[in-house]
A and B are shown apart, each in its own frame.
Chain A
Amino acid sequence: MKNINLTKWRYISSAISIFLMLASLTIVCVKGFNWGLDFTGGVVTEVQLDRKITSSELQPLLNAAYQQDVSVISASEPGRWVLRYADTAQSHVDIAQTLAPLGEVQVLNTSVVGPQVGKELAEQGGLALLVAMLAILGYLSYRFEWRLASGALFALVHDVIFVLAFFSLTQMEFNLTVLAAVLAILGYSLNDSIIIADRIRELLIAKPKLAIQEINNQAIVATFSRTMVTSGTTLMTVGALWIMGGGPLEGFSIAMFIGILTGTFSSISVGTSLPEFLGLNSEHYKVQVITDTP
């Protein structure tokens, strides 16, 4: 009785997953990304000013000095601002001098990235994503039967698209560290799927008579406590990184956090339901009859 409920739950959650994935794809296509400096090129400066100064005081000064619309974002701490503008001839104006009328200015860091470098980094990032995907695909097809592998792969694509959609929806900056997080999610999401797939394979060999739905359910139940413990500890440490890591690691930790959540969810739902849908059964893992016995 309980297992029939589990099967039902798996199907419903798979449907939800697929729906969310389509929605995510639409969001990514419509809204696009707020690409970080690493990919667009330009200038980013972080300054520390008096806490009382507001962005409405900063903006006109900067716009006049750099003759363009400078984006002024408040950073994690009060009095700290992130200024971003395009790299033009005017952008070599000294920032400390420009802001001098507002009192003491401390320039914390500056990054200038040429447009060519940004383009190359974006290409490299895309290449990294592609190569990682292909390598994983190769490994999976070598290690598992294709129906079983397709479930893991679908779960993987699902997780990555979901994280991308989150960054697209919130328009949080998508920079190199977030890309690194997305790649780490590739590895992590598979982690869960593979452990369940391993169990399914084991059960298929051990209990060939059992229906595939039942095998999937048993595999999920058998690995459930492990899935929860590992996801739990990883979520806790990533959460610690989110709370304590400060501004530069915020995007990274959020991406990882979401990735781990959806990774756990998708490996249980879509990851197991898709192979079932594709007709996986114990025939595919039947032990070969030894041919040399007469």
Chain B
Amino acid sequence: MDNIQSKKLLNHYSAWKYIVLIVTIIVMLFSALPTWYGENAAVQVGAKAGLNLTPIELRDKLTAQGIEVKRIEVKQHGEDKGQTLIVLNDDSEQTLVKTLVSSMVTEPKELTLALVSAAPSWLQNLGFEPIKLGLDLRGGVQFLLDVDVQPVYQAQADALVESLRQFLREQQIRGASVRIDNTRDDAALQIAIALTDAAQADNSARATVRQFIQQSYPTWQLTNADNGLVIKLSQDEQSKLRNLTVQQNLQIMRSRIEELGITEALVQRQGEHRIRIELPGVQDPAAAKNVIGATASLAFFEVKESGSVNAQVLKDKSGNPVYVARSPVLGGDHIVDARANIGEMGMAEVNIHLDRIGGQKMSEFSRANIGKPMATSYSEYSRDEQGKAKQTQEIISVATIQSQLGDRFRITGAGTYQEAQQLALLLRAGSMTAPVTIVEERTIGPTLGAENIQNGFAALGLGMGITLLFMALWYRRLGWVANVALISNMVILFGLLALIPGAVLTLPGIAGLVLTVGMAVDTNVLIFERIKDKLKEGRSFALAIDTGFDSAFSTIFDANFTTMITAVVLYSIGNGPIQGFALTLGLGLLTSMFTGIFASRALINLVYGRDARRHVRV
């Protein structure tokens, strides 16, 4: 019944449409609200930090240093039980407070810089959070790192060349020379095996080499050349190696950044071989650079009896001392590759591949030490605040040598598969085959960030004010509809930006918002102009509204679609701030269609839907 009736009715929206509209706007309003309150800088003191002060004592101590504290929270339950949160009044004092508090705790590592929503707790309990701000609005340091994959390919090629030469010697194939072809420009190396005429004549030489490579190095591709064979890493293997290398560097960077104690830090891959690191709140790039630029290395040690004099003591992960020989058997620079695997017995293991010299050393050492343990250490060189190099060294595994080892061997007993993967990662990291360089660095001061926010929102406010005033004056009767639509458009847009995971508001993003304000009214203008036309043709107001909306729709769609194309292209090709612009531009188009067509129709239907007058002036 209802259905049939509503079809006959002109300008009628059923109740559920109004419910959808109202619920959407209310939810978006709640989602947008926390952004209005903003965020406060805070210092987070972990439960394990060993802080022996009550919140009141802590506040008094900080006030004595001239620091105003907004509030101090101690979490009583949940995951972070015992965690203390010091929320500050002045954002710029964050680092200062961290240094002050670190002298009051036993484990300064447990201190982290954080940002907490300043919204009232009932709003936070609903799960709504403020919009994430980009570095250009918040201030901080941004790095772009380039991972050089070439040396990884080089190491692989070197290992192959060495073992090929050895193979040729063992098989007594004469007249064959192996060399790496460096003349080519492209990323991957190729190895050329040149055969003399005598060797050419003997077909078996070529076949033997072929068979050897196919069996032992299946990841390399063989092609016949005029005077011998050419071997190249397969495309598949190249991208696999590149991915592994970049991932390994990502992991290393993440764990290093963790030590800096910034909860909001972002470490992500960009493109094929780049890593983007964003450190909001950090003002001194030098400190961050030292951490990022640290180099890691790895070594294998002979394990001595505990208490032995002729030994050095290193700690393992749980802090137990391990006595090892003063000089290592082998350094990590001899490791070509390390990968985790599930072995024959279903146990996790790590397969290690050494270069030739490393293989010889390991073979000699292991022959003499079968049944004895061998330790693997991981050390990291980094620079402290004074720029002095400091080394941290740790034993990551102790394993028993089962038999004589060559250039390929495996370590078992590393624990679960995940742990084996972790070890393989560290081992590859230890070889540090891929040098990382900082190719881009940007620092935005906190005052400049705050200034950018202020300028951006001032422009947004002014632009919005002018537009609202203009629309109200120009389309007197319908102007208020456009204005309500525009305001709800902004509410929905802000709400969406806060809701969408990964959405970041940048300065160009604010520019996109301002542009959206100007263009969003276009939808309403197009409709209103059509309604005016229809009124001129002598229709009643209600009928003009109906046909006006219908005839404007395809035009609105066409006009918005092209801008949407550029927004999508910008988002997929651009980076950082530009993506922020594309995001607000694209979202703004969608929300302006929603409010301009749906919300304003709902309003007009309600107020003018039954208006049968003719010659109405709009």
**A residues whose Cβ falls under 8 Å from a Cβ of B:** 46, 106-114, 116-117, 124, 127-128, 131-132, 135-136, 139-140, 143, 176-177, 179-180, 183-184, 186-188, 190-191, 194-195, 198, 222-223, 225-226, 229-230, 232-241, 243-246, 248-249, 252-253, 256
Residues in A with CB closer than 8 Å to B438 are 112, 114
B227 touches A (CB below 8 Å): no
Interface residue SS majority, chain A: helix
Contact indicator A184/B566 (Cβ below 8 Å): yes
Known contacts A109-B442, A188-B519: A128-B458 contact under CB 8 Å: no
Residues in A with CB closer than 8 Å to B573 are 124, 127-128, 131
Contact indicator B566/A183 (Cβ below 8 Å): yes
Contact indicator A107/B515 (Cβ below 8 Å): no
A12 to B451, CA, bound (A): 46
Mark B33-56 against chain A: 1 for CB-CB distance below 8 A, else 0.
000000000000000000000000
Contact indicator B511/A236 (Cβ below 8 Å): no
Residues in B with CB closer than 8 Å to A240 are 459-460, 462-463, 466, 514
Contact indicator A139/B562 (Cβ below 8 Å): yes
A246 to B452, CA, bound (A): 8
B507 touches A (CB below 8 Å): yes
Across the A-B interface, how many residue pairs have beta carbons closer than 8 Å? Answer: 201
Closest to A127 in B: B573
Q: Which of B514-562 contact A (CB under 8 A)?
A: 514-515, 517-519, 521-522, 525-526, 529, 533, 554-555, 558-562
Nearest CB of chain A from residue B506's CB, rounded to whole Å: 10
Known contacts A135-B569, A180-B574: A241-B470 contact under CB 8 Å: no
Known contacts A236-B518, A237-B515: A112-B440 contact under CB 8 Å: yes
Kindly name the residue among B515, B526, B554, B561 whose own CB sees the greatest number of chain A CB atoms within 10 A. B515
Residues in B with CB closer than 8 Å to A225 are 529
A124 to B573, CA, bound (A): 7
Which of A106, A108, A132, A229 is within 8 Å of B565, CB to CB? A132
Residues in A with CB closer than 8 Å to B370 are none
A237 to B516, CA, bound (A): 9
Residues in A with CB closer than 8 Å to B439 are 113-114, 116-117
Residues in B with CB closer than 8 Å to A114 are 144, 146, 438-440
Q: 30 A-B residue contacts at CB 8 Å? A: A107-B443, A112-B438, A112-B440, A114-B144, A114-B438, A124-B573, A132-B570, A135-B565, A136-B566, A183-B569, A184-B515, A184-B563, A186-B562, A191-B559, A195-B526, A223-B529, A233-B467, A233-B517, A233-B519, A234-B519, A234-B522, A237-B463, A237-B466, A237-B517, A238-B518, A241-B511, A244-B458, A249-B507, A252-B508, A256-B515
Residues in A with CB closer than 8 Å to B467 are 233, 236-237
Contact indicator B136/A248 (Cβ below 8 Å): yes
Mark B499-516 against chain A: 1 for CB-CB distance below 8 A, else 0.
000000001100100110
Sorted nearest first, the 10 A-B pairs with minimum C-beta distance are A187-B563, A237-B463, A234-B518, A237-B518, A114-B439, A240-B463, A246-B455, A244-B459, A240-B462, A187-B566
Which of B455, B470, B515, B564 is within 8 Å of A232, CB to CB? B470
Contact indicator B455/A132 (Cβ below 8 Å): no
Mark B571-595 against chain A: 1 for CB-CB distance below 8 A, else 0.
0011101100110010000000000
Nearest CB of chain A from residue B444's CB, rounded to whole Å: 5
Residues in B with CB closer than 8 Å to A107 are 443, 445
Closest to A224 in B: B529
Q: Which of B430-453 contact A (CB under 8 A)?
A: 438-445, 447-448, 451-452
B321 touches A (CB below 8 Å): no
**B residues whose Cβ falls under 8 Å from a Cβ of A:** 136, 144, 146, 285, 438-445, 447-448, 451-452, 455-456, 458-460, 462-464, 466-467, 470-471, 474, 507-508, 511, 514-515, 517-519, 521-522, 525-526, 529, 533, 554-555, 558-567, 569-570, 573-575, 577-578, 581-582, 585
Which of A46, A112, A186 is within 8 Å of B566, CB to CB? A186
A256 to B514, CA, bound (A): 12
A47 to B558, CA, bound (A): 47
Nearest CB of chain B from residue A205's CB, rounded to whole Å: 13
Nearest CB of chain A from residue B157's CB, rounded to whole Å: 24
Residues in A with CB closer than 8 Å to B521 are 229-230, 233
List 4 additional contacts besides A109-B448, A179-B578; criterion CB under 8 Å: A225-B529, A233-B521, A237-B466, A241-B514
Residues in A with CB closer than 8 Å to B460 are 240
A106 to B474, CA, bound (A): 48
A114 to B440, CA, bound (A): 6
